[in-house]
Chain A
Amino acid sequence: MATAVMISLDTKSRAASRGMSDIHIRNLFIIPTILFLIVFNIFPLIYSLGYSFTDFRASSNAPANFVGLQNYRELLNDPFIWSNFAITAKYVIVSVTGQVIVGFGTAMLLNRDIPLKGLLTTLLLLPMMLSMAVVGLFWKLLYDPSFGIINYTLGLGSFEWLSNPDVALYAVAITDIWMWSPFVMLLSLAGLSAVPKHLYEAAAIDRAGPFYTFFRITLPLVAPILMIAIIFRTMEAFKTFDLAYILTSQPTTEVISIRLYKMAFQEWQTGRSCALAYIVLIMILAITNIYVKYLNKVKER
């Protein structure tokens, strides 16, 4: 390994022969990037960790007092925060499950020989290219009980999607599913196209049914790439803010990011909100770790 590094830094490398040595490249590109990361990512991260143990409020001129684990203790004993976590968990489960079903299902359909396949795929990818704010406002109009096209099409009269506290979270999740299923579809398509054709041919010779073929060939081979899609979408859904904030202001849709925003920028409880941000970070890391372990197991099979 050390030899490899030495070779890469060798001034007589190919880059050097083109007029720029590896050391120059390191000085010009790598060191500034690392410095940039330290200044804008690592330093604020450590700084906010420090604040999470204080009673600091950015809106006051009072100095930050060290309060130990008080912020963490209070947050973990706050029923409102747990309710926000429960709402977030429910949202993540509904939204990611929906995206996997719709995205993978669409990919299965597109994996066949159908006319205008390329155009269809491109059109299906459009939702995820739109801005969250635009999607939020667009769906707000679609859900409108007076003139929204959803109620009109489904014959639901003046059914209230966003005002009804029992339904609002599902309405937000449906919007998220619409927007991000194409992402799952795209990754699934890549996975499906990589499944060797001869396996299906062998299954056909053995007269295996479609159910057997799907569960014994398709799903196991696509599973690793599908797991990657699930990891990305879970992390994103856990952090969701824009859609829920724009679409509705129901307490039943107050996911943890919205609570965090309010705590940090409306209430100016800076220390406390830093602590909450760390709790959220730890949770996301834990969930991601579980997924990654599972992904590795799937790969090993």
Chain B
Amino acid sequence: MRKTMTGLVAGVGLMWACGTSAQAQELTIFWAEWDPANYLQELANEYEAETGVKVTVETTPWADFQTKAFTEFNAKGSAYDLVVGDSQWIGAASEAGHYVDLTDFFTKHNLTQVMAPATVKYYSEYPANSKKYWSIPAEGDAVGWSYRKDWFEDPKEMEAFKAKYGYDLAPPKTWAQMRDIAEFFHRPDQKRYGIAIYTDNSYDGLVMGVENAIFSFGGELGDYQNYKVDGIINSEKNVKALELYRELYGFTPPGWAKSFFVENNQAITENLAAMSMNYFAFFPALVNEASNPNAKVTGFFANPAGPNGEQFAALGGQGISVISYSKNQEEAMKFLEWFIKDETQKRWAELGGYTASAKVLESPEFQNATPYNKAFYETMFKVKDFWATPEYAELLIQANQRIYPFVTAGQGTAKEALDALAADWNATFKKYGRNK
């Protein structure tokens, strides 16, 4: 009987030990449904081959991503161990305790030096300049442009353009040139249009699009240190930038008032527009002949400069964070340690992911790997982002409510729209006790 009991206890102990170990052999990463998530799964498969830890990248459509992620966080659910969350989420997720503090991890691995400075600033640090880090820069991304090389390089077009505008037709170096080129190629009677820009106002599409103009015109959204917005978001520079964005909307294909990354790639693949705005993460589809019949004649350029030569772009991309409610936090940290290794970052870039590793980004190997990597490299060192405060969603919705009617329907003026937005943002910051 004693032997039986000892055996039983030992068996149960062994089962418990095996159970715990088996539990830690699996990790789930939550991300949006797009190509980089597939590349991450490929990378994770290599991690499994190396360590035996199975990593599943679970995805959901972009439209649901925020809602689904925060619903799980709010329920303190442990369905996911890591999340590749949007840069704007960092304030809301860290203040609510959904993300594990990675400051020690950051310091230990000297990540402020390893990763490109802008990616650390926008994907990882919150509050700004606090030296507290909540994510590891994972998918670097920013807005860039694709264009139809065959249209631009057609001798007849070049001649006609020079005759009309007095300078050579080439990928635009400034927003003013971009406006001219968009106007030049806008030919509704031929079903050819000048430009495709972001207009969708259901999340951050339109706002990111407008940010490209605002930042390059030398403007800002506000003072991120003290939450001052009046005189900044409605500055003269921002008014000019918004007016130009509205003007560009006039050169988009018909029905372009709810367009985001899918439609903007279609503008190139379906011969609709001469130039198209999109995140670099969506460019692989444009160099693939299976998804773009115009792949051979598609070129790329970085966001052009504003009237004073300043050149910035809206940040996309995400950092990877450990979720506080994960039961496999230790294992998740091991994965992150593997993820930040130079050779892993190199492999990540080879697979198609946009590494944030400064070393890899600077390498000629990376910059020559695709027709757009050089433009991506240049852009990643001059990116700026939206507010990352916990109430970012309210700020985003208010921006959409004020800017959208002006851009797509010409209601009111740019000054009126931005003045109203300044008042909205001011009231929101006041409500949350940030701007006293």
Contact = CB atoms under 8 A, between A and B. Distances in A.
A171 B250 CA distance: 22
A59 B70 contact: yes
Contacts of A262: 397
Interface in B361-417: 390-391, 393-394, 396-397, 401, 404-405, 408-409, 411
Given A146-B191, A269-B394, A165 B405 contact: yes
Interface stretch (B4-12, B15-23, B159-167, B251-259): B251-259
B150 interface: no
Contact of A144 (B73, B255, B391, B396): B255
Interface residues of B, number: 35
B200 A163 contact: no
A265 B67 contact: yes
A61 B66 CA distance: 18
A266 B256 contact: no
Interface residues of A, number: 26
B191 A60 contact: no
Nearest to A144: B255
A32 interface: no
Contacts of A160: 254-255, 257
B188 A158 contact: yes
B393 A267 contact: yes
A43 interface: no
Contacts of A164: 409
A154 to B, nearest CB: 15
Contact of B405 (A144, A146, A251, A267): A251
Contact of B254 (A158, A266, A267): A158
Contact of A59 (B74, B200, B201, B409): B74
Contacts of B390: 59-60
Given A61-B97, A162-B255, A162-B257, A268 B393 contact: yes
A248 B255 CA distance: 10
B254 A165 contact: no
B232 interface: no
A249 B257 contact: yes
A80 B427 CA distance: 14
Given A59-B92, A144-B255, A248-B258, A266 B408 contact: no
B255 A60 contact: no
A80 B401 contact: yes
Contact of A163 (B70, B96, B257, B394): B257
B95 interface: yes
B202 interface: yes
B92 A165 contact: no
B255 A163 contact: yes
Interface string A242-276: 00000011110000000000100111110000000
A162 B401 CA distance: 17
A145 interface: yes
Interface in A48-100: 58-61, 80
B255 A249 contact: no
Interface in A123-149: 143-146
A128 B383 CA distance: 48
Contacts of A251: 201, 401, 404-405
A163 B405 contact: no
Contacts of A58: 70, 74
Nearest to A266: B393
A251 B202 CA distance: 10
B258 A267 contact: no
A251 B404 CA distance: 8
A146 B393 contact: no
Interface in B51-94: 66-67, 70-71, 73-74, 92
Given A80-B401, A160-B254, A266-B397, A249 B95 contact: no
Contacts of A162: 255, 257-258
A262 B97 CA distance: 23
B369 to A, nearest CB: 35
Nearest to A60: B96
A268 B254 contact: no
B308 to A, nearest CB: 33
Contacts of B258: 162-163, 248-249
Contacts of A145: 254-255
Interface in A145-188: 145-146, 158, 160-165
Contacts of A268: 70, 74, 92, 393
A281 B256 CA distance: 35
Contact of A249 (B96, B200, B272): B200
Contacts of A146: 191, 253-255, 272
A251 B257 CA distance: 11
Contacts of A269: 394
Given A249-B201, A267-B393, A163 B401 contact: no
Nearest to A245: B202
B83 to A, nearest CB: 14
B419 to A, nearest CB: 16
Contacts of B200: 249
Contact of B411 (A61, A161, A165): A165
Contacts of B191: 146
A266 B66 contact: yes
Interface in B303-361: none
Nearest to A148: B255
A248 B396 CA distance: 18
Contacts of B201: 249, 251
21 contacts: A59-B70, A59-B73, A59-B74, A59-B92, A59-B96, A61-B97, A80-B401, A144-B255, A158-B254, A161-B255, A162-B255, A163-B257, A249-B202, A249-B258, A251-B201, A265-B70, A266-B67, A267-B393, A267-B397, A268-B92, A268-B393
Given A60-B92, A250-B257, 6 more contacts: A60-B95, A158-B254, A262-B397, A266-B203, A267-B397, A268-B393
The 8 closest A-B pairs by CB, nearest first: A163-B257, A145-B254, A158-B254, A145-B255, A58-B74, A165-B409, A60-B96, A267-B393
Interface of A: 58-61, 80, 143-146, 158, 160-165, 248-251, 262, 265-269
